[in-house]
């Protein structure tokens, strides 16, 4: 009984946190390269709407996913253009993308509101892994492909970030762009790729909502998830694996807010991720300096050779 | 790349600043016109209808002013905080905090009717200030990024309001939608004539803009604030107290947003209700108001009116032009996008690579 509650909650938490994990992975890479992206919410909602329209028009949810990823990527590249090439304020650029994205998605999806998606992504059990006791029903049963992929991709990205040359370049560019530049690495290219990748991941996260989780389009359906994803990246101290753990924790709060509805106000559980993120920032600042916790040193700063 | 490079422009002229801002707005309106056309509305006729029903119509123009009140209050605050390099993205939460405090006073505090409105304004100011105090102290003490903390606090405020209207403050007679009981009548703000223009809030906004402009440009404190933003090193050397100056600035800024929240609940709805109905995104739009004002509190009077026009035209677009309700949000986004992309034109000038006076310096790297 107790175990069932635990596995059930974890399974729901994973389903809920899947879009958060996708978007947070992207944000982690963007921020590791030194660029803050407050446009996640906008990229997610644009991914959700273009994904839905493409899937509905073509009858193939995977084409929808592709469209969403590309949309996110293009918007991500625009953010990179503003932040890296124009050296505009990254925070304002991201905020603009979110405000614009929320409006534009409503405009694009106006005709599609309230129509269910005919061919959506269906949940399924993962063979073999779903038979593992406890972990199987908690993580590998009755989820959408994008949930399983989120787990796989996070491990992969963790490996890339910490154990490959590409990961080293990204981290160096985020920590000390001047050093990366001296070593012959292109700060501009690295940032463009990382932020573009972040957009792709946010687009996929949004598409999960409109193609799998709630296969339909509704205005503002991301409902602030982009901000939670942003919070998640910080709360996880810019590490992909910790982001999965923290994502499940955030998801568990949301799931519990339904289960405990009669005993505890759901709104107060929903605001916990935001409070936790502030606490994480405080602890990061109180800790042994930023370095020990992995906050990129050059986060939010434009780089130009020979100028400080 | 591109055969050009950036060179710092030390001090852009006011004319250039004005021209670039205007160009950004015009570019945003141009794209808006294209969006009109794509949806089957003749852009020229569309803009004409909007102007007719907003600026030229007394009822419409009062709505423009009404919607610019929260933008003015929050925007002036953001201008001030920006001067000290504090990015306050939290006006939305501070507006809600002010609304909650005012509602609490109106609903539960036994204040004599004559003192009710002043008490509500005071409570709203304090609550807003408190909502800004935390990020301010975290920034100056621990170096915690204020953009993220103020942003997160917006959502904390949003869910607290939802909790209140669904839980402890839920009105007795309420079915369906969640909101609090109606405030007693002496807690309503007076309005001008038959309009919904709650003038005490407008007056506070105007006075605040004037007062802060005076402080900023005519007092020693203002000099220190400007120094903090323009050359922190020199300010530190001159003995400016960063700690208290920042805290005080942010508290005043956030308190102003709190007053905007008071205006929305006491001047329009007379109750605490769904947070997205209290603030239609005023806190975020106030950032545009502040950026367009380029550091001048007086200029926010103009820029707040402009963004108020965008908000008010949203209703016109929906009702008269049958355009979707998302248009104002699209226009907001466009203005901000063009604004942020034009910003480098002010800070840098493009110099062809291989030319220009700084060639040798560039080569030395």
pLDDT digits (tens, 9 = 90+) for B247-272: 999 999 999 999 999 999 999 999 99
- What does the pLDDT average to over B140-150? 89
Of the two residues A256 and B77, the one the predictor is more confident about is B77
What are the tokens at B249?
A: 């600035």
Most trustworthy range by pLDDT among A86-100, A247-261, B171-185, B232-246: A86-100
Residue given tokens 């568990």 in the structure block: A252
A291 pLDDT higher than 60: no
Residue given tokens 């209290």 in the structure block: B278
B364 pLDDT higher than 50: no
Cα end-to-end distance, chain B, whole Å: 16
**What sign does the dihedral A261-B99-B287-A275 (CA atoms) show?**
negative
Return the CA Rg of chain B: 22
- B197 — phi, psi (to 5°)? -80, 100
Contact A270 B167 (CB under 8 A): no
% pLDDT > 70, chain A: 96
Q: What does chain A come to in residues?
A: 308
Cβ neighbours of residue B260 closer than 8 Å, sequence gap 6 or more: B69, B70, B73, B74, B91, B95, B98, B201, B205, B282
Q: Can you tell me whether residue B75 is helix, strand or coil?
A: helix
Q: Cβ distance B153 to A278 under 8 Å?
A: yes
The pLDDT assigned to A297 comes to: 81
Most trustworthy range by pLDDT among A126-135, A154-163, A275-284, B176-185: A154-163
Contact A271 B340 (CB under 8 A): no
CA–CA min distance B152, chain A (Å)? 5
Of the candidates A86, A118, A99, A101, the one whose C-alpha atom is nearest the C-alpha of residue A50 is A101
- What does the pLDDT average to over A163-180? 92
What are the tokens at B82?
A: 């920006």
- B7 — phi, psi (to 5°)? -130, 135
Of the two residues A255 and A189, the one the predictor is more confident about is A189
B173 pLDDT higher than 70: yes
Cβ neighbours of residue B209 closer than 8 Å, sequence gap 6 or more: B72, B76, B297, B298, B300, B301
Rounded to two decimals, the ipTM of the complex is 0.87
Mutant choice from B4, B332, B340, B364 vs A, greatest count of A C-beta within 10 A: B340
The pLDDT assigned to A306 comes to: 63
The pLDDT assigned to A1 comes to: 56
Q: Residue B306: how many CA atoms within 13 Å on its side-chain side?
A: 22
Please tell me the distance from the alpha carbon of residue B260 to that of residue A227, in angstroms, as a whole number. Answer: 24
Please tell me the distance from the alpha carbon of residue A280 to that of residue B20, in angstroms, as a whole number. Answer: 40
B7 pLDDT higher than 80: no
* Number of CB atoms found within 10 A of residue A189's CB: 13
B-chain residues within 8 Å CB-CB of A234? 148
- What does the pLDDT average to over B344-356? 69
- A307 — phi, psi (to 5°)? -135, 135
Binning chain A into helix, strand and coil, the percentages to the nearest 5 are: 75, 0, 25
- What does the pLDDT average to over A52-71? 95
pLDDT band at B360 (very low <50, low <70, confident <90, very high): very low
Cα end-to-end distance, chain A, whole Å: 60
B193 pLDDT higher than 60: yes
- What does the pLDDT average to over B203-230? 92
Q: What is the pLDDT of residues B45-63, one digit of tens each?
A: 999 999 999 989 888 899 9
Residue A134 exposed, middle or buried by CB count within 10 Å (0-12, 13-18, 19+): exposed
CA distances from B325 to A39, A182, A293 (A): 21, 51, 44
pLDDT band at B349 (very low <50, low <70, confident <90, very high): confident
Q: Cβ distance B98 to B259 under 8 Å?
A: yes
CA distances from A26 to A36, A153, A229, B247 (A): 11, 11, 9, 34
Residue among B155, B337, B361 whose CB faces A96 most closely:
B337
pLDDT band at B287 (very low <50, low <70, confident <90, very high): very high
The pLDDT assigned to A294 comes to: 60
Cβ neighbours of residue A161 closer than 8 Å, sequence gap 6 or more: A28, A29, A32, A167, A170, A171, A239, A240
A-chain residues within 8 Å CB-CB of B324? 106-107, 110
Residue A86 exposed, middle or buried by CB count within 10 Å (0-12, 13-18, 19+): buried
pLDDT band at A142 (very low <50, low <70, confident <90, very high): confident
The pLDDT assigned to A307 comes to: 56
Chain CA centroid to CA B85, Å: 16
Please tell me the distance from the alpha carbon of residue A289 to that of residue A171, in angstroms, as a whole number. Answer: 17
* Number of CB atoms found within 10 A of residue A240's CB: 24
* Number of CB atoms found within 10 A of residue A258's CB: 10
Contact B148 A96 (CB under 8 A): no
The pLDDT assigned to A65 comes to: 97
CA distances from B219 to B215, B223, B226, B297, B298 (A): 5, 6, 11, 15, 16
Of the candidates B319, B345, B283, B309, the one whose C-alpha atom is nearest the C-alpha of residue B32 is B309
Residue A185: DSSP 8-state:
-
The pLDDT assigned to A139 comes to: 86
Of the two residues A152 and A234, the one the predictor is more confident about is A152
* Number of CB atoms found within 10 A of residue B254's CB: 34
Q: Can you tell me whether residue B179 is helix, strand or coil?
A: strand
Q: What is the pLDDT of residues A63-113, one digit of tens each?
A: 999 999 999 999 999 999 999 998 888 988 999 999 999 999 999 998 888
Which segments of chain B are extended strands (E)?
4-8, 348-352
- What does the pLDDT average to over A189-195? 96
CA–CA min distance A86, chain B (Å)? 6
B363 pLDDT higher than 60: no
B30 pLDDT higher than 60: yes
Q: What is the pLDDT of residues A123-137, one digit of tens each?
A: 888 888 888 888 888
Residue among B324, B348, B362 whose CB faces A106 most closely:
B324
Task: Return the residue of B nearest to A80 by Cα.
Answer: B341
Q: What is the pLDDT of residues A195-252, one digit of tens each?
A: 999 999 999 999 999 999 989 998 889 988 999 899 899 888 899 999 999 999 988 8
B-chain residues within 8 Å CB-CB of A222? none
B117 pLDDT higher than 60: yes
- What does the pLDDT average to over B305-324? 89
The pLDDT assigned to B358 comes to: 47
Specify which residues A124 forms β-bridges with: A143
Of the candidates B214, B248, B245, the one whose C-alpha atom is nearest the C-alpha of residue B227 is B245
Please tell me the distance from the alpha carbon of residue B228 to that of residue B355, in angstroms, as a whole number. Answer: 35
Of the two residues A1 and B319, the one the predictor is more confident about is B319
The pLDDT assigned to A257 comes to: 78
- What does the pLDDT average to over B191-195? 87
CA–CA min distance B190, chain A (Å)? 33
What are the tokens at B148?
A: 């993220």
B3 pLDDT higher than 70: no
Phi-psi region of A20 (alpha: psi -120 to 50; beta: other; left: phi over 0): alpha
């Amino acid at each position: 009984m107790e175990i069932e509650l635990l596995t059930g909650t974890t399974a729901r938490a994973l389903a809920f946190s899947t879009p958060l994990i996708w978007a947070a992975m992207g944000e982690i890479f963007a921020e590791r390269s030194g660029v803050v992206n407050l446009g996640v919410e906008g990229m997610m909602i644009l991914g959700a709407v273009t994904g839905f329209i493409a899937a509905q028009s073509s009858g193939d949810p995977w084409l929808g996913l592709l469209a969403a990823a590309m949309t996110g990527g293009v918007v991500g590249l625009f953010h990179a253009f503003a932040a890296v090439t124009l050296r505009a304020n990254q925070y304002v650029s991201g905020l603009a993308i979110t405000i614009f994205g929320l409006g534009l998605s409503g405009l694009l999806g106006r005709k599609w509101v309230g129509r269910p998606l005919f061919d959506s992504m269906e949940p399924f059990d993962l063979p073999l892994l779903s038979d593992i006791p406890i972990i199987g029903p908690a993580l590998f049963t009755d989820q959408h492909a994008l949930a399983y992929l989120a787990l796989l991709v996070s491990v992969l990205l963790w490996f890339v970030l910490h154990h490959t040359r590409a990961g080293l370049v990204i981290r160096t560019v985020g920590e000390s762009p001047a050093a990366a530049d001296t070593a012959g690495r292109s700060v501009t290219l690295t940032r463009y790729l990382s932020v573009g990748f972040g957009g792709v991941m946010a687009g996929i996260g949004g598409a999960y909502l409109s193609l799998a989780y709630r296969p339909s389009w509704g205005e503002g359906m991301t409902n602030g998830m982009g901000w939670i994803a942003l919070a998640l990246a910080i709360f996880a101290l810019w590490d992909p694996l910790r982001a999965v753990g923290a994502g499940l924790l955030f998801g568990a709060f949301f799931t519990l807010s339904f289960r405990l509805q009669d005993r505890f106000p759901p709104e107060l559980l929903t605001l916990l991720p935001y409070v936790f993120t502030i606490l994480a920032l405080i602890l990061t600042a109180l800790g042994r300096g930023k370095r020990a916790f992995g906050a990129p040193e050059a986060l939010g700063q434009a780089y130009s050779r020979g100028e400080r | 790349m591109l055969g050009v490079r950036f060179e710092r422009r030390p001090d852009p002229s006011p004319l250039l600043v004005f021209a670039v801002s205007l160009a950004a707005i015009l570019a945003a309106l141009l794209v808006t016109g294209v969006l009109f056309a794509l949806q089957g509305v003749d852009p020229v006729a569309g803009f004409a209808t909007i102007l007719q029903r907003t600026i030229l119509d007394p009822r419409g123009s009062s709505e423009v002013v009404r919607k610019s009140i929260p933008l003015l209050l929050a925007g002036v605050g953001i201008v001030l905080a920006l001067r000290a390099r504090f990015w306050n993205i939290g006006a939305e939460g501070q507006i809600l905090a002010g609304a909650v405090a005012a509602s609490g006073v109106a609903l539960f505090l036994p204040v004599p009717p004559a003192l009710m409105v002043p008490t509500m304004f005071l409570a709203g100011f304090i609550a807003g200030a408190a909502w800004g105090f935390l990020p301010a102290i975290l920034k100056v003490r621990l170096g915690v990024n204020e953009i993220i903390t103020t942003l997160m606090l917006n959502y904390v405020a949003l869910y607290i309001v939802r909790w209140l209207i669904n839980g402890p403050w839920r009105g007795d007679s309420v079915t369906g939608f969640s909101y609090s009981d109606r405030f007693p009548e002496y807690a309503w703000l007076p309005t001008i004539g038959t309009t919904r223009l709650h003038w005490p809030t407008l007056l506070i906004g105007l006075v605040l803009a004037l007062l802060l402009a005076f402080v900023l440009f005519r007092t020693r404190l203002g000099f220190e604030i400007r120094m903090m933003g323009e050359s922190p090193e020199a300010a530190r050397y001159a003995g400016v107290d960063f700690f208290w100056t920042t805290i005080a600035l942010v508290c005043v800024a956030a308190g102003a947003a709190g007053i905007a929240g008071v205006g929305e609940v006491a001047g329009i709805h007379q109750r605490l209700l769904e947070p997205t109905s209290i603030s239609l995104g005023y806190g975020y739009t106030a950032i545009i108001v502040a950026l367009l004002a380029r550091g001048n509190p007086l200029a926010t009077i103009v820029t707040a009116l402009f963004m108020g026009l965008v908000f008010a035209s949203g209703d016109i677009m929906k009702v008269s032009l049958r355009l979707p309700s998302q248009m104002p949000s699209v226009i907001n986004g466009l203005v901000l996008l063009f604004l942020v992309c034009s910003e480098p034109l002010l800070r840098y000038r493009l110099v062809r690579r291989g030319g220009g006076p700084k060639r040798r310096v560039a080569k030395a790297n």
